[in-house]
């Protein structure tokens, strides 16, 4: 439960309100995280929040991509190179990329939902031959709000995987699609028996996107989503992150839609 000190060694602005921090351990590193897991990041004197791991780099460095929405996330976004951040983790379940080997994979991200899926895309590219068709669908409100813009463009340019982007509000220079991310799914070839789908984004986007892929015949068990709930302990002790019988910090954040779907359909949860 004690945060380990990490130093900010890199800081990149992704969008107007989102920053990626590269963190390096001062002494002992945390255990190497798996794609999909999260850390509790402590902005000293302000507070601690769960943030997904958006990159796993050499030298025990980890990346976190943070959107400033309140006191703690604002303090993290304001951290400059050399600043100290407390890290507890890694916690939670991962995307289980290995278990999708031999089949097709569809990665679907809305907004900052691309952060926990970025290490998945890296793993898919690194082990490209182990997978059949790999498709990445990225949605954002506007072109300026696409996180990792340069990297998404390089995935697209490499042609090793299929990448489609869409925005709700286009600019004159925009060359991708216009519309919400579930509308991209109808353009994707889906072989339901061998396809694994990984989705992260706002809850409403998860619901519409999962409904669309289920409608194309993919079993709910093969659809994985990353859930967000307010968290305090991160280790299954306080109950803050409870979603019905599920403790999102412990049983999630990555869960099959077969488990999450019936829970998010119930208004009182
Ligand atoms: C497993 C997990 C992984 C996450 N990964 C990331 C990540 O990679 N990058 C990132 O920027 N954020 C991520 N979040 C969300 C992040 O934890 C919250 O934005 C943060 O806790 C807000 O704290 P705050 O003190 O800055 O704002 P607060 O003052 O606590 O909240 C400010 C506003 O944001 C809303 N809010 C708070 N928490 C959430 C939440 N979990 N989801 C939606 N709205 C919320 C509040 O209702 C309020 O309106 C993740 C959350 C979870 C549970
Ligand atoms: S955050 Fe405390 S039980 Fe999940």
Neighbours of 208 (CB within 10 A): 15
d(CA 23, CA 167): 30
Q: Is the CB of 112 under 6 A from ligand 1?
A: yes
Cα of 233 vs centre of ligand 2, distance in Å, is 5
Choice from 70, 117, 246 to test ligand 1 binding pocket (greatest atom count within 8 A of CB): 70
Q: Is the CB of 253 under 6 A from ligand 2?
A: no
pLDDT value at position 159? Answer: 83
Domain with CATH 2.40.30.10 in the chain: 4-91
CA–centroid distance for 12 within its chain? 17
pLDDT value at position 53? Answer: 97
Nearest-atom index, ligand 1, CA of 50: 17
Exposed/middle/buried for residue 214 (C-beta within 10 Å: 0-12, 13-18, 19+): middle
Beta-strand pair 62-67/84-91: unpaired
Using alpha carbons only, how large is the chain's radius of gyration in Å?
18
pLDDT value at position 269? Answer: 66
Q: How do residues 54-100 score in pLDDT, each as one tens digit?
A: 999 988 999 999 999 999 999 999 999 999 999 999 999 999 999 99
Contact assessment for residue 58 and residue 113, using Cβ atoms and an 8 Å cutoff: no
Residue 109 has pLDDT above 80, yes or no: yes
pLDDT band at 262 (very low <50, low <70, confident <90, very high): very high
Q: How do residues 122-164 score in pLDDT, each as one tens digit?
A: 999 999 999 999 999 999 999 999 999 999 999 999 889 999 9
Q: Is the CB of 223 under 6 A from ligand 2?
A: no
Q: How do residues 21-48 score in pLDDT, each as one tens digit?
A: 999 999 999 999 999 999 999 999 999 9
Q: In the numeric block, which tokens belong to residue 113?
A: 């939902």
Ligand nearest to the CA of 52: 1
Q: Any idea which residue has 């939670």 for tokens?
A: 92
Nearest-CA residue for ligand 1 atom 13 is 51
Domain with CATH 3.40.50.80 in the chain: 97-264
pLDDT value at position 142? Answer: 96
pLDDT value at position 239? Answer: 96
Q: Which has the closest alpha carbon to 209: 228, 229, 226?
A: 226
pLDDT band at 175 (very low <50, low <70, confident <90, very high): confident
Beta-strand pair 246-247/242-243: antiparallel
Q: Which has the closest alpha carbon to 137: 71, 75, 65, 189?
A: 189
Contact assessment for residue 163 and residue 138, using Cβ atoms and an 8 Å cutoff: yes
Cα of 68 vs centre of ligand 2, distance in Å, is 22
3-state SS class at 168: coil
Q: Is the CB of 72 under 6 A from ligand 1?
A: yes
Residue 266 has pLDDT above 80, yes or no: no
d(CA 174, CA 260): 35
CATH architecture for the domain at 4-91? Beta Barrel (2.40)
Phi, psi at 251, each rounded to 5°: -85, -15
pTM above 0.75, yes or no: yes
CATH architecture for the domain at 97-264? 3-Layer(aba) Sandwich (3.40)
Q: Is the CB of 52 under 6 A from ligand 1?
A: yes
Q: What percent of the chain has pLDDT over 70?
A: 99
Contact assessment for residue 19 and residue 10, using Cβ atoms and an 8 Å cutoff: no
């Amino acid at each position: 439960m004690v945060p380990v000190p990490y130093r900010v060694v890199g800081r990149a602005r992704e969008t107007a309100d989102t920053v990626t921090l590269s963190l390096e351990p001062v002494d002992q590193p945390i255990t190497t995280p798996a794609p999909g897991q999260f850390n509790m990041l402590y902005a000293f004197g302000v507070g601690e929040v769960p943030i997904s791991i958006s990159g796993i780099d050499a030298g025990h460095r980890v990346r976190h991509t943070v959107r400033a929405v309140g006191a703690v996330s604002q303090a993290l976004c304001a951290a400059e190179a050399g600043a100290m951040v407390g890290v507890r983790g890694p916690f939670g379940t991962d995307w289980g990329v290995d278990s999708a080997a031999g089949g097709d994979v569809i990665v679907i991200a809305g907004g900052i939902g691309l952060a926990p899926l970025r290490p998945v895309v890296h793993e898919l590219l690194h082990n490209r031959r182990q997978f059949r068709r790999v498709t990445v669908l990225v949605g954002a409100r506007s072109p300026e709000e696409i996180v990792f813009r340069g990297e998404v463009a390089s995935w697209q340019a490499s042609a090793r995987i299929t990448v489609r982007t869409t925005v709700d509000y286009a600019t004159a220079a925009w060359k991708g699609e216009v519309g919400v991310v579930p509308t991209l799914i109808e353009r994707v070839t889906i072989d339901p028996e061998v396809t694994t789908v990984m989705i992260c984004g706002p809850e409403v986007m998860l619901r519409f996107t999962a409904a669309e892929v289920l409608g194309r015949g993919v079993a709910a068990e093969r659809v994985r989503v990353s859930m967000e709930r307010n968290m305090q302990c991160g280790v299954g002790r306080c109950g803050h992150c409870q979603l019905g019988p599920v403790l999102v910090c412990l049983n999630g954040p990555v869960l099959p839609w077969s488990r999450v779907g019936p829970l998010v359909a119930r208004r009182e949860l």
